Amino acid sequence: MIFARLQPPDGSAPIAGVLEHDQLRETASAPWEQLKFTGRAFDIAGWDYLCPLIPAQVIGVGKNFALNPASLGAGPPDLPILFHKPSRCVIAPNAQVSLPPGIGRIKFEAELAAVIGRRARAVSEAAALEYVCGYTIANDYAALELFHPDGHWTLGKSCDTFCPMGPVIATGLDLSSIRVRSFLNGRLQQDSSLDLMISPLPRLIALISRYCTLEPGDVILTGTPRGAAFAGHGDVVECVIDGIGSLRNPVRDPSRNGGQTSE
């Protein structure tokens, strides 16, 4: 199933539903709930994709990809690097990523994002993926100048517009076949399977839910492979995961182009 939220070109309220070919079958339910179709279907030609959900919380994972298979030998750490990104960071495909005041370049990181579909509290690794509704693409931006010298990442990861997400939520993906790629102005920067993930998604869900209850609509960013780079004013970053689609966003300095957009 492919779930999406789209903006009609007439400016009316966004419509959410299941994509089937070139039509959107409207639903009155979230993708993690039992689907309730309204009976309406829309031709989506000319419609704009929005973020497929408004997350309750976004949990990021730092330094979660090895450089090569040999460096996986040490195994996952007892405690991965975890951080929160406010839901205010989340923006739609094609929306503008804004440089913070005084910051000339920001780091982009293409990531597979897991959308939680059931309340998860102290779940096992074996059952963890049963709590995932589906997957989308996220771009985890960071302003490294705003990282605290003691290692705190919160401010540098939490600036407005620093988490583009979309274009859809896809269910039933085979994680063993997924590749995470990113392009800077059309040039390939990142390209990796999930085989190099240090703490796999089931382990992350089990560990996080041991201490923090996960609710439907929460999102876990699973980390980014090698090749993450920096973008500045005028650059365009595209993140691609087959089976989900393409997440493309321009980077702008609001002081140079008169403003910013969020969704």
Q: By percentage, how much of the chain surpasses pLDDT 90?
A: 89
pLDDT at 73 over 80: no
Average pLDDT, the chain: 95
Give residue 38's pLDDT: 98
Top-confidence residue, 70 or 123: 123
**Cα–Cα distance between 3 and 136 in angstroms, integer?**
10
Q: Are strands 58-62 and 219-221 parallel, antiparallel or unpaired?
A: parallel
pLDDT at 260 over 80: no
Q: Which two tokens stand for residue 257?
A: 């182009």
Domains of the chain: residue spans and CATH? 2-49 (2.30.30.370), 58-257 (3.90.850.10)
Of 99-108, 151-160, 239-248, the poorest mean pLDDT is in: 151-160
Instruction: For residue range 156-206, list pLDDT tens digits in order.
Output: 999 999 999 999 999 999 999 999 999 999 999 999 999 999 999 999 999
Give residue 150's pLDDT: 83
Going 250 to 55 to 14 to 42, the CA torsion angle's sign is: positive
Place of tokens 């390939």: 188
Give residue 261's pLDDT: 46
Does the global pTM surpass 0.85?
A: yes
Nearest to 248, CA basis, from 143, 142, 96? 96
Give residue 262's pLDDT: 44
Instruction: For residue range 42-67, list pLDDT tens digits in order.
Output: 999 999 999 999 999 999 999 999 99
- Gap between the terminal Cα atoms of the chain: 24
Give residue 258's pLDDT: 55
Give residue 238's pLDDT: 98
Instruction: For residue range 1-32, list pLDDT tens digits in order.
Output: 999 999 999 999 999 999 998 899 999 999 99
Q: By percentage, how much of the chain surpasses pLDDT 70?
A: 97
